[in-house]
Amino acid sequence: MERNKLIIRNLKVEEGFFSNLDLSFTSGLNVLIGGRGVGKTSIIELLRFGLASGNLSNNSNDSSGHAVSILQSSGRVSIELEHEGRIINVSRSAMDKQPISSEIFMPPIVFSQKEIETIGLNAEGRLNLIDSFIPEIHEEIEKIRDLNSILASSSALLLQLRKELSELYEKTSSLSNLKQREQVLQSQQASFQKQNHAVSNSQKQLNETQNNLAKLMVDIDNLDFIRSFLKNKISNVTSILNEQSLPQLYTTEAAGLNTLIQNSSIREREIINQAIQNNVATLNQVEAIYKQLTSQRLSLDVVAREKRTEVEGFTEGAGAVLSELGRIKQEIAQLENINKLIDDKNLQVSTIYTKCQSYLEKVNGIKNSIFEKRSAVIQKLNSNLSPIIRSSISPQSTLSFYGEALENTLRGSGLKYKELIPVIIDKVSPAWLLYYSHTLKYEDFAIAIGVQRDRATRILAYLNEQDIASVLTAKIEDTIEFSLLDKGVYKNVSELSIGQRCTVALSVILENSSRVLIIDQPEDHLDNEFIAKILIKAIKQRATASQTILSSHNANIPVLGNASNVVNLDSNGRRGFIKCMGSTDDKPIKDVIEAIMEGGRDAFRTRSEFYSD
């Protein structure tokens, strides 16, 4: 066995049914034996619990309850691992949510009887089984989770920006009419000027005053926004100073952090206070300019009124024209300022949309990498298990979560969408759905899913107004299938009996030599021929490459599998303990196997005949 592979060296238990247990394991094949009720399954579940191995089959319930019931409320497991010559200590109490370890490690693969029976029946279980061959896949899956988290936030921001953009466009919808009205009023004003040269100078001054007022109002509006922004910013930054203080640390190892944390907090408060002072200073300057411009506006209003009065004295209609013209000029100036905001907002929308597509592209790249690694595992399985067992993989073809997310998003829309969901998820990827719904390419979308343009328009228009983050981040996985050759015909695992399903699952499981493997009674539901001819051979071969821990009541497994460590468990009804342990060549172990295990004497006789030949 390679020295750089992880192995379990020892299991210790405090309190509970196995109180004071001290169980050592060897690097090869370890087999737990004993009568019913002595705790073979409990040892396996304690290892699973202590190392947080979890379940590969999503049809299996969380088995931590079994371990906790064995430990009782005050119990604890301590496990010693070895990896590349280093010792890793792992500990977990019945109350701990996660184990505590001296360094990070790759947990073993653990299978209960129920998991072996059911893992082939669900898509996620089959996928997890293949992924267990690829230790580094968890890092890539974590990268996808991180990217999806950023993508979800960006999708929400994209929707918000689109709404803000729509509101800005709505505000500027009257700009064209206002400019037309301005031209009419300017024409009327010119006519008044021709009629009476006496008002020409006053009109010129009034026009200049109104133009100045229009510019002034733009700055006043913008300064008002800046004032509000700075006030909120000061309030938010100030609230950080009122955050709850951190608790003191008292252990020798951790106490040194108190000064570090306190100094860090002091430095942070100094920085925050400086930031507050800077923003307050800026706000004060803004307030001063705001008051100055407001004062100027009042002065210009007075001048404008005076000039209008002069003009109105000459001609009755000119004052009304000039008053309306002044108001319209101000409105046009404000709306043209909004147009500048629209340009900025359009740029933000475009940037965030591009980022969303970039995140989707990165996720897809990682998924393609994962697919290649899974395909390599499938190829290896077919090479080693063919023709009895056949494995296959289809890229990103499990679309149920994508469909559910899309259905949930369209629910409440009032549209008839249910019959379209299978078509959309089959023909339109999340990246393309984002493209269609964002750009509102109605015709292209209609052609893509094969529906009338008006129906495609209603769907895209609705999606454009929704946050589709759950759709974009929906889990789209590769599909794994297993088949067994039965009387010349390949049958999918869903069509097999329990025994045949276990045959497929165990054959695949035992091909994985990358991690420690722990199985509870692998021989259940299997016929003796398969156990003797295939299962034991696979167990024996695997044990030379990686540590294997099994529980069993079939003597062929420890005897013909050449177990390096057989542990005979026993119980007095209240507490479980080790009665004896050793290799199959040790007389006490041999006697126990012959006495309590199915086919014990026959197993030793078979092994003797094999070696004599």
The CATH architecture of the domain made up of 7-121+498-612 is: 3-Layer(aba) Sandwich (3.40)
Spatial distance between the Cα atoms of 507 and 512, rounded to a whole number of angstroms? 9
Query: Could you read off the pLDDT of 268-304 as tens digits, one per residue?
Result: 888 889 988 999 999 899 889 989 988 888 888 888 7
Q: Could you tell me how many residues make up the chain? A: 613
Concatenated DSSP letters for 129-157?
HHHTT-TTHHHHHHHHHHHHHHHHHHHHH
Query: Could you read off the pLDDT of 466-505 as tens digits, one per residue?
Result: 999 999 999 999 999 999 998 899 999 999 999 899 999 9
Helices (H), 28-118: 40-51, 64-71, 113-118
186: left (phi over 0), alpha (psi -120 to 50) or beta: alpha
Spans of all domains in the chain? 7-121+498-612, 165-357
Angle CA(152)–CA(154)–CA(159) in degrees, nearest 5? 100
Mean pLDDT within 447-468: 94
pLDDT at 152 over 50: yes
Residue with token string 């192995």 = 7
Query: Could you read off the pLDDT of 34-48 as tens digits, one per residue?
Result: 888 899 999 999 999
HSE at residue 149, side-chain half, CA atoms within 13 A, is 6
Residue 90: strand pairing partners: 79, 101
pLDDT at 610 over 70: no
**Tokens for 48?**
């699973």
- Are 597 and 33 a contacting pair, CB within 8 Å? yes
Mean pLDDT within 89-93: 95
Classify residue 112 as exposed, middle or buried by CB count within 10 Å of its CB (0-12, 13-18, 19+).
buried
Largest Cα separation within the chain, whole Å, is 133
**Tokens for 397?**
């073809």
HSE at residue 596, side-chain half, CA atoms within 13 A, is 19
| Residue 143 identity | K
pLDDT band per the 50, 70, 90 thresholds, residue 2: low
**Sign of the torsion formed by the C-alpha atoms of 149, 151, 157 and 159:** negative
**Alpha-carbon separation of residue 500 from 359, 445, 523, 534, 558 (angstroms):** 43, 46, 12, 13, 23
| Residue 364 identity | N
Q: What pTM was computed for the model? A: 0.74
Nearest to 561 by CA among 578, 537, 577: 537
pLDDT at 602 over 90: no
Q: How far is CA 511 from the centre of its chain?
A: 30
pLDDT at 284: 93
Question: Percent helix, strand and coil across the chain, each rounded to 5?
Answer: 60, 15, 25
Higher pLDDT, 412 or 241: 412
Spatial distance between the Cα atoms of 580 and 588, rounded to a whole number of angstroms? 7
- Are 133 and 546 a contacting pair, CB within 8 Å? no
Nearest to 25 by CA among 577, 564, 568, 575: 564
Spatial distance between the Cα atoms of 566 and 250, rounded to a whole number of angstroms? 45
